[in-house]
């Protein structure tokens, strides 16, 4: 059986067909896909070394994302994608 995507799950929550508690239960049963991570992005520091920006919710410990958390994560991911590059232009560690 295929898993329900995060996008479809959010649409069902928005439509009122599912509650976040129901989604949490489906996730524990393995019926809802977990959030996909974005392509790793990189930025140069002032010292010309490469770093990878990260955003996460500290203390989440397996809890279900709320609608606001998902919205914020999506906006942060879009900003990181806009501001950072997908691959360093030089070999990692080289200046």
Q: What is the pLDDT of residues 8-19, one digit of tens each?
A: 888 888 899 988
Residues 51 and 32 both lie in one domain:
no
User: Within 10 A of 32 (CB to CB), how many other CB atoms are there?
Assistant: 22
Indicate whether 8 and 51 sit together in one domain.
Answer: no
pTM summary value: 0.54
Q: Do 45 and 91 share a domain, yes or no?
A: yes
Same domain, 28 and 49: no
Beta bridge partners of 50: 44
- Predicted pLDDT at 94: 47
pLDDT recorded at residue 72: 93
Domain count along the chain: 2
Counting Cα atoms < 13 Å in the Cβ hemisphere of 27 gives: 18
pLDDT tens track for 27-74? 778 788 776 666 788 999 999 889 999 888 999 887 888 889 988 988
90 and 54 part of one domain: yes
Q: Specify whether 18 is located in the same domain as 54.
A: no
Domain limits for position 76:
37-95
- Residue 63 confidence (pLDDT): 84
């Amino acid at each position: 059986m295929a898993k329900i995507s995060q996008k479809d799950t959010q649409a069902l929550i928005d439509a009122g067909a599912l509650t976040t508690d129901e989604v949490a239960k489906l996730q524990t049963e393995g019926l809802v896909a977990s959030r996909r991570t974005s392509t790793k992005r990189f930025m140069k520091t002032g010292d010309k070394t490469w770093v990878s920006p990260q955003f996460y919710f500290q203390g989440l410990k397996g809890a279900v994302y709320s609608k606001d958390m998902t919205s914020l994560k999506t906006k942060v991911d879009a900003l990181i994608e806009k501001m950072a590059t997908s691959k360093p232009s030089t070999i990692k560690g080289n200046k």
